[in-house]
Amino acid sequence: MISDSWIKPTQSRAGVRTAALTALATVLWVSSQAVALAEPRVVSANGNTVARFPVTAPQVSTMTAAEPMPLPTTDIPPNSLVEHLLSPMSAGMGAPGFEPGGAPTRSISLSPPDVDSDTLELPSEASADAVAPAEYGTSNHPFTTARVDTGYGSVKNNVSRTYPYSAAGKLFFVDNGRNFVCSGALIKPGIVATAAHCVAEFGDKRFFTQVQFAPAQYANAQPFTVWTARRILIKTSYFDGTDACSAPGVVCENDVAVIELNPKRYKGELVFPGQFTGWLGYGWGGYGFTKEDMTQISQLGYPVSHDGGRIMQRTDSYGFVDNSSADNTIWGSRQTGGSSGGPEVVNLGIRGSFNVSEGQEALPNAVIGVTSWGYISDAVKQQGASPFTENNIVSLVDSACNNARPGACGE
């Protein structure tokens, strides 16, 4: 029992109770305001739905023990690369277009503070007794999945922290009180492309909260720190559940999102992560695909099935557009949960000098989709992504940049 002996003689018990209730009401009001501030302001217009978040500091708690976002899965019959080669069908996604990316505009020595040590320990190799997954599954779709970083020398993350890989990273968020992680990539200095299912629940008309992006994360190191979301944009059809899908809420036309990040003040000026990491370009309308709707894809992400999701992985495979799957791009892969929202890139890498002509649609480091889904059966070894079109990626980026903070879109 709580003693009342602390009450001053001149203060009545009723007065104390009134003061205590007033204090409690104040605490509850402040708490309610904090909850309200955590919720975004949502507006829909012109086919896009925008969530505006209050400016907050990065939340370490959001990144603690974050679970990989479960990869949406389907049990529709696997798509065959061979069948597509024998009978290709035009997807009709409109005229191809692209927006170039950009290399870092600041020296790496000017990176924001709190850069972790270069003496990072590489996660241990899988046991020699473990069953090695085949490099194609029951879909007969060849691929190669491996670590981005070699782990050699004193700098363990020697590759992922350099452009173009440094533009990809981990996306943290909270959904119903649980911490999750997806993947994503910068396509402007302060704009991230990811999957809509990494920021909102399909058809549920709600966004996830405490969304933040850590470019080039390696184990616990965040060489370019963490950046919080200012606004998130997705298609209204995904938000309200009316999107065209061959598997409802999984294989859809518009599992695409863009995130405008808050800037940080660094050396007296406002900066965005892309100034330090560089940013990838993006293509739409079948950019990078042949007339048979095929392309060579490099997928980047943080699947929990590989090194516990702690370091970046790369998958290389042929991709093709499947008309029966909402015109999604399909490729071979063994990435899993945590890879959601990671970029599918054509022409990945830094090109050397050459004295021959370029091939067609040769824009380097162009994102043409973000990881959307996989198969329920682990044996299939295929993943898919909604197509980048003028209706989704172009519309979303244009809308984001029309109201973005100066510098977020590279002006």
Give the domain range for residue 147.
41-117+132-352+360-402
Determine, yes or no, domain membership for 14.
Answer: no
Measured distance CA(179)–CA(306) in Å, rounded? 19
Residue 192: name the closest of 402, 388, 370 by CA.
370
| 79-83, 240-244, 306-310: segment of lowest average pLDDT | 79-83
Residue 26 lies in a domain: no
Mean pLDDT, rounded, for 336-360? 91
18-68: per-residue pLDDT in tens?
444 344 333 333 333 333 346 789 999 999 999 999 877 677 766 777 888
Q: Rounded to a whole number, what is the distance in angstroms from the first to the last CA of the chain?
A: 65
Is the pLDDT at 128 greater than 80? The verdict is: no
Choice among 101-110, 118-127, 292-301 with the minimum mean pLDDT = 118-127
Among the listed ranges 32-41, 106-115, 258-267, 375-384, which one has the minimum average pLDDT value? 106-115
> Is 47 contained in some domain?
yes
Average pLDDT of the chain to the nearest whole number: 82
Is the predicted pLDDT of residue 283 greater than 90, yes or no? yes
Q: What is the pLDDT of residue 185?
A: 98
Give the pLDDT of residue 67: 86
More confident: 292 or 110: 292
pLDDT, mean of residues 100-119 = 59
In a domain, 136, yes or no: yes
Q: How far is the C-alpha of 30 from the C-alpha of 257, rounded, in Å?
A: 32
Return the pLDDT at 108: 55
In degrees, rounded to 5, the angle at the alpha carbon of residue 132 between the alpha carbons of residues 130 and 136 is: 160
Give 6's pLDDT tier (boundaries 50, 70, 90): very low
pLDDT of residue 137: 84
Q: Given this model, what pLDDT does residue 114 score? A: 38
* Residue 116, C-beta contacts closer than 8 angstroms, at least 6 positions apart: 220, 221, 222, 223
Taken as a whole, the chain contains a residue count of 411
**Residue with more model confidence, 79 or 131:** 79
**Could you tell me if residue 35 is inside a domain?**
no
Q: How far apart are CA 272 and CA 186, in angstroms?
A: 10
- What's the rounded Cα separation, in Å, for the pair 137 and 83? 15
pLDDT band per the 50, 70, 90 thresholds, residue 285:
very high
Instruction: Identify which has the larger pLDDT, 293 or 126.
Output: 293
Q: What average pLDDT does range 172-201 have in this prediction?
A: 96
Give the per-residue pLDDT at 127. Answer: 37
The reported pLDDT for the residue numbered 19 is: 46
Instruction: Select the highest-mean-pLDDT range: 86-90, 101-105, 150-154, 257-261.
Output: 257-261
Confidence of residue 121 (pLDDT cuts 50, 70, 90): low
Q: What is the 3-state secondary structure (H, E, C) of the chain?
A: CCCCCCCCCCCCHHHHHHHHHHHHHHHHHHHHHHHHHHCCEEEEECCEEEEECCCCCCCHHHHCCCEECCCCEECCCCCCHHHHHHCCCCCCCCCCEEECCECCCCCHHHCCCCCCCCCCCCCCCCCCCCCCCCCCCCCCCCEEEEECCCCCCCCCCCCCCCCCHHHEEEEEEEECCEEEEEEEEEEECCEEEECHHHCECCCCCCECEEEEEEECCECCECCCCCEEEEEEEEEHHHHHCCCCEEECCCEECCCCEEEEECCEEECCEEECCHHHHCECEEEECCCCCCCCCEEEEEEEECCCCCHHHCCCEEEEEEEEEEHHHCCEEEEECCCCCCCCCCEEEECCCCCCCCCCCCCCCCCCCEEEEECCEEECCCCCCEEEECCCCHHHHHHHHHHHHHCCCCCCCCC
Q: What is the CATH number of the domain that holds 270?
A: 2.40.10.120
Residue 10 lies in a domain: no
Is there a contact between 142 and 135 (Cβ–Cβ < 8 Å)?
A: yes
Number of domains present in the structure of the chain: 1
- Span 148-170, pLDDT tens digits: 998 766 778 889 999 999 999 99
Structural domain contains residue 208: yes
- pLDDT score, position 227: 96
The pLDDT of residue 14 is above 80: no
Looking at the chain, the whole-number percentage of residues with pLDDT higher than 70 is: 79
Q: Would residue 127 count as lying in a domain?
A: no
